[in-house]
Amino acid sequence: MKTTLFPLIFCLLGLLFVMPGFSEETEPPVPELKTKVYLVPATFISSIGHLLRDEVAPDPFADSTSEVLPRKTKSVQEMLEQHGPSFGEGASASFDQAESKLTVTNSPEQLQLVEAILESFRNSSETVVNIYLEYIEVEHVDFSDWLFENAIESDGTELRNEVQKWIKDGRAEIIESALVAARSGQRAKVESIDEYIYPTEYNPARIPNEVTLKGGAEAPIAATSPTAFETRNLGTTFEVDPVLGSDNHTIDLSLAPEIVKLEGIEQWHKKTTDPRFLTHFPTFYTMKISTQVTSQNGRYAFLGTTRPLEATNPKCRDPLVLQFVRADLASLADWSEVMEGE
């Protein structure tokens, strides 16, 4: 009797363990999904390679007339998956290029991975450099007095603040300024100019090969005539090459700003020469500095001094023009701004 009872007991215990309530293996809970909307630069897609196409390696032995296989365009979700986050059931990612919004629906853990990717791209993304140039006319003696008590440093903000006091007191005047936005490593240029065309080569005055003179007539002489011309830009030209430093704070600037004015028209050779033999050419006055400086974000750099053709301020007896430049960094977009989805 005992021998038949034990198998029955073991069968009953086995049935209890395989019942749902007593099973040791349970299905993992479905993670709660959240939706977040990230404001990213318009260049976000190209940054992560969304529009980069997987090219099929060409077959060197294939017929040149054979059909070329189409290249596959990856979605933003696929690109994110290549960088770590996974998208399970119900999870998704989409990008609205018109509004520069990245919408991601996923678990909190996977959203943290997405935000880590965005942070890495934010640190390496393009930054706009706004370069501001100023020409300020001051009294020579004021600048000399300041130099007598102060040393010029790489950071010209202190001198610029002092010059601002002179401007408010009417002892200095901003005669020109220019602002240009550029990307790091790319040249930018802004111009406010008039194109002045002038002759550079002339045909000399000449007498015709054959001439018939009667009475007291004089031989006709053809006056000098221009044969070649050049163009000179009158006004302000500001060209700069900014390079953002590895610390994302300092900016190396290579620049050569200039102001060109027409000083006058000269005659060559002598004013007493017969007008038919005279040639005319213009003379230009230029204020130009060619230099390379390192500026800090939001701080001024002092470029140097130049002499103006004439004083802008009639009260200025001995004018001197100081040139300052300031570089301000601006991100293409606020990557850190996050909006909770509905």
pLDDT tens digit string along 82-126?
Answer: 888 899 888 999 988 777 788 999 999 999 898 888 776 665 556
- Look at 225 and 218; give whichever has higher pLDDT: 225
Interatomic CA distance for residues 99 and 235, integer angstroms = 39
Q: What is the pTM of this model?
A: 0.62
Backbone angles phi, psi at 116, to 5 degrees: -65, -40
Token pair 């065309």: residue: 197
Interatomic CA distance for residues 47 and 100, integer angstroms = 13
Contact 326, 149 (CB under 8 A): no
Q: Which residues contact 271 (CB under 8 A, 6 or more apart)?
A: none
Both tokens of 40, joined, read 């990213």
Q: What is the pLDDT of residues 149-192, one digit of tens each?
A: 999 988 999 999 999 999 999 999 999 999 999 988 889 999 99
Distance from the Cα of residue 202 to its chain's centroid: 44
Residue range 201-227: mean pLDDT, rounded: 69
Each domain of the chain, given as residue ranges in start order, spans: 31-54+71-125, 128-204+224-331
Interatomic CA distance for residues 320 and 323, integer angstroms = 10
First-last CA distance in the chain:
69
Contact 96, 37 (CB under 8 A): no
- Percentage of the residues of the chain whose pLDDT score is greater than 90: 44
Contact 162, 149 (CB under 8 A): no
- Is the model's pLDDT at 218 over the cut of 90? no
Please state which CATH class domain 31-54+71-125 belongs to.
alpha beta
